Structure 1
Amino acid sequence: MKRNILCTLAVMAACAILVACGKTDDQISPITPESNAASSEAEATPEPTPTLPPYEANVLTGEAKGENYPEGQRITALMVNNLVDARPQRGLSKAQMLFEIKVEGGITRFMPVFNDYHDIDEIGPIRSGRDQFFQLILPWQALYIHEGQSVVMQQYALDYDYGLLNNNDGASGYRDYNRVNWRGLSYGNGLALEHTMYTSGENIEKYITNNNVDMNRTYNSTFFNFVDYRQDNPVRDLTQSQDSQLTTKDGPVVKDGEYVEISHSQSYKTRFLYDNTNNVYLMQQNFSGNWRDTIDEEYNDYQLQFPNVIVLFTDIHTYPGHEAKDLQYVEYSWGGIGYYFYGGKCEKIYWQKGTPLEALRLYYLDENGQCSDTPCEINIGKSYVTIVDVDEAINLKVGNLADFDLDAATVSASNTSIDADAKAGESLGASTTDLVSAARNNQAVGNTESNTQSTTQSSTTTNTSNDSQSAESAPQQDNTPQQDTADQSSADDTASADSGEDIPWAD
């Protein structure tokens, strides 16, 4: 007991010395048993940490869900034409996310994605589906609307039992024969029929109701790892990010990014000009030798704008055996380098996907310039995302607006399209797993274009074609929950009827 009392007194004396180091004589308060006990009691009852409300974010933007959020409804994606004769488009500005990827002939196509199809007043021109877009929404089991599809896309829908979620007629789309494009053409006056198909939320609703399409879907995560809207200041400043001080062989990981010019091919380019006032990137595309605002004629020629711009590079080449139609194979299995633009800054990142059933994932780089284990935080809001051929990486232009002549001429966009849609009775003759394996080794597999005609004539089975799927002929959607995509091995290419309720960053 005595020893304990002596130890206590020694500690009290030491405390008095330490307190005195920071105070003058008249500031020092004596240590008394009463004050010491009060101090201990205060230390034992720290201020309670405020409890955050449950995380309830918009799956496509990361924003807090509003009262009109379509809870329990699967997202909707559509294919929109971007050929010169299809411009200007309608309805793109209402999308929460917009994808742009190269298709056959070096042209690009758009895939706007919506939380709620009811928000679509009118959208188009609707064009045919491609697997490089479909693979991005497959983990999310989105309703996919298009008019026509490539033979590869057709096979993906069959292999993954996508059934009525793969709509092939623009959701009973309609023709606007009176539309006039930027070149002053209309149907019957030089404009091809393929540039006149439109659809709407009302038409989509009819398709869903008439075919009893299951639109129920609960998402336990968001499309990207968005900044948490529950924070006091839910914004990630790229200049203060965890990787802002890193430098790779190509320079700083974070640098100026007010100007972004993306080359998809020799004749298709997209650029973004940062608007500091509204903290958004304004979208433009090359037209007839100059840059022209990408607008939405459905909403008073509103220029498309996004707070987030994401550019991801990978290998893109023609599927072996499909050279005549130039069907494009996009390599999603390996991942690669990308760039994230926000707030006038550019951040070098890494992306991964894996199998068709795995979600697109973005990561910070580590100190060695390699992919880290930390998911990259994307700021809240709409996003433009493009997948670009790595051969075009050298043509990416980034910097401050003042560094570029914004009025300089550019190349004219090609207005030539290739009819790459599957014909009635046409079959790939191989699974998509075999096709991907062959494409990686530059080998043809299945029914290639050189023998498609004989295969089609001798075939006794009619697969999904350009005609709309009927409830009787289309495979029915199985909504049985499967293993979370975060737990799926990247080596597992097994087709599944459903997947993706839980994506990596929401536990």
Structure 2
Amino acid sequence: MKQKVLHSAAVLLLTLCVVVGGCQSRQESSEDTAASTVQDSVESSVPEESSDLLPESEPEPDSSEEESSEVEPVIPEGYVYSQYTGLPIPEETARRKPVAISINNHRKASPQSGLLYADIIYEAPVEGNMTRFVAVFQDYDQVEKIGPVRSARRYFIDFALDQSAVLIHFGEDTSISKVYSQVGCPHINGISSLEEVMTWRSKDRKAPHNVYTSGERLLEAMERAKIATELESEVAPVFSFLKEEETPSSGEPVQHVAIPYLVYKDYNQTAEFFYEAETKSYGRVQFDEPQTDLETGEQLKFKNVLIQIADVHERGDEAGHKDMVSIGEGKGYYLTNGICQPVTWKKADQQTPTHWYDAEGEELSLNPGKTWINVVSLSQEITLE
């Protein structure tokens, strides 16, 4: 049944449908070794004393020996679990400092390039109620084209800090030019002496929708800017991931999500996700068609979708720039395996990562896979059906 949810309401979901979900083991790639469940063998012994007058019978198994032990999933040697996807990745990749790239999401900039390889994508409203992406990549050195790259906003810094990433942008809201150093956010602005090193302009699109970068160029730009390309030894992860995929045991079945950011005449920028039971993923749709990666033609699909409801408001300048109250707490939704759950988020300060909690107040554990995060304002309407 279709329901419209207005997020200024005090209660986000009135009814929680109880779904008994069995644990579903995720399929590993050829590089992964699937985890197996080992059942303890039951050893039976013949009683030392027996009467010849009694009929022979099978000995009773010792109940204490019937318990089975759980075995941790096995991953290949030299691999670890990614703190960005919860999936096995090479140790070398896991040490790399990720990048958080501001990506243009105007219709004239679509489809974008390289988003297929992002681990996490934020979508947030900007001036004019259009949206912009901040795409977080950790394994990016072989990605040949990413973009179009656009300018940064103040809350993009929060997204980058949350993921311990280098913020990559081409221009910025000038009011934040000093914020990077104040909060300790490493960044590279393409409109600088590094422009030709880090970016290029394609000839098939017009400015400002034609600025691109690549993994090779990003690494060279970071080296020239003297920005570390490896993570510090201790980095607090934003997300907690399950070792094995699970379907939530509580929540409401939801097959379709629609967030109408900007609907004006023939310009319809509605963020949509359709659940695919076969792949257990959410296919991304915008501008009334599947959102694909320009280079591969593949539709963008995600294991997890988070909706972060926050105070997003206009700042009051002539350009109509928006800002987001990202420090504090708020409500939201978590969607995975066709189930939608109410959640809350909390962020203590700019240097502390945002933490997510389930309806019982326990830290939220995501299914292993890629995650999309939609930031919406308190008054934004969301369709869950």
Q: TM-score, normalised by structure 2?
A: 0.75
Larger relative helix fraction: 1
Q: Does 1:317 align with 2:317?
A: no
Matched residue, 1:225: 240
Q: 2:14 — aligned with what?
A: none
Match of 1:383 in 2: 371
**Equivalent residue for 1:330?**
324
Structure 1 residue 204: deviation in Å? 1.1
Report the 3-state secondary structure (helix = DSSP H, G, I; strand = E; otherwise coil) of the residue aligned with 1:100. strand
Aligned residues: 320
2:87 equivalent in structure 1? 63
After TM superposition, the runs of 4+ consecutive aligned structure 1 residues lying more than 4 A away are 25-30, 46-55
Choose which of 112, 115, 124 in structure 1 pairs with 2:147: 124
What is the match of residue 274 of structure 1? Answer: 275
Q: Which runs of 5+ in 2 are unaligned?
A: 1-53
Distance of aligned partners of 1:284 and 1:304 in 2 relative to their CA distance in 1, 3 Å threshold: same
SS at match of 1:128: coil
Amino acid at match of 2:344: Y
Shift of 1:354: 2.9
Residues 71 and 304 of structure 1, relative CA distance in 2, 3 Å threshold: closer
2:80 and 2:90 in contact (8 A); partners too: no
Q: Which whole-Å CA distance do the structure 1 matches of 2:235 and 2:256 have between them?
A: 35
CA distance in 2, matches of 1:27, 1:77: 72
Alpha-carbon separation, structure 2, partners of 1:92 and 1:297: 9
Please give the alpha-carbon distance, in whole angstroms, between the structure 2 residues aligned to 1:65 and 1:103.
Answer: 34
Alignment gaps of 5+ in structure 1: 1-24, 180-185, 245-253, 367-371, 400-507
Q: Which has the larger radius of gyration?
A: 1
Contact 1:176 1:197 in 2 (8 A): yes
Distance 1:48 1:303, change over 3 A: closer
Aligned partners of 1:72 and 1:283: how far apart in 2? 29
Higher strand share: 2
Distance 1:71 1:122, change over 3 A: same
Match of 2:382 in 1: 396
Distance in structure 2 (CA, Å) of the matches to 1:221 and 1:56? 16
C-alpha distance in structure 1 between counterparts of 2:309 and 2:202, whole Å: 36
Where does residue 347 of structure 2 map in the other structure?
353
Amino acid at match of 1:333: I
In 2, Cα distance between equivalents of 1:297 and 1:48: 47
Partner residue of 1:250? Answer: none
What is the CA–CA distance in structure 2 between the aligned matches of 1:397 and 1:51, rounded to whole Å?
Answer: 38
For residues 190-221 of structure 1, what are the alpha-carbon distances to aligned partners after superposition, in whole Å with 9 as ceiling and x for unaligned? x3x21111111121122123333211213555
**Over residues 432-486 of structure 1, what are the superposed CA-to-partner deviations in whole Å (9 max), with x where a residue is unaligned?**
xxxxxxxxxxxxxxxxxxxxxxxxxxxxxxxxxxxxxxxxxxxxxxxxxxxxxxx
Partner Cα distance (2:184, 2:220) in 1:
22
Is contact 2:127-2:319 (8 Å) kept?
yes
- Mapped to 1, the partners of 2:299 and 2:58 lie a distance apart of 67
Aligned 8 A contact 2:80 2:94 in 1: no
1:175 is matched with 201
Aligned partners of 1:295, 1:52: CA distance in 2, in Å? 32
Aligned to 1:264, which of 261, 264, 272?
A: 261
Supply the distance in 2 between the matched residues of 1:100 and 1:166 (Cα, whole angstroms). Answer: 20
C-alpha distance in structure 1 between counterparts of 2:58 and 2:141, whole Å = 69
Conserved in 1, the CA contact under 8 Å of 2:219 and 2:229? no
- In 2: Cα distance, 1:131 partner to 1:396 partner: 24
> Given the two structures, how large is their TM-score scaled by the length of structure 1?
0.58
Matches within 5 A, 1:80-479: 80-162=103-185, 165-169=187-191, 172-177=198-203, 179=204, 186=205, 191=206, 193-217=207-231, 218-227=233-242, 229=243, 234-238=244-248, 240=249, 244=250, 254-267=251-264, 268-286=269-287, 291-299=288-296, 301-320=297-316, 322=317, 324-366=318-360, 372=361, 374-392=362-380, 395-399=381-385
Partner SS state of residue 272, structure 1: strand
CA distance in 2, matches of 1:107, 1:29: 74
Q: CA deviation digits over 1:70-93, x for unaligned, max 9?
A: 132211111110111111211111
1:309/1:27 CA distance change after superposition, 3 Å: farther
Contact 2:237 2:353 in 1 (8 A): no
RMSD: 2.9
What is the aligned partner in structure 2 of residue 414 from structure 1? none
Change over 3 Å in CA distance of 1:278–1:152 after alignment to 2: same
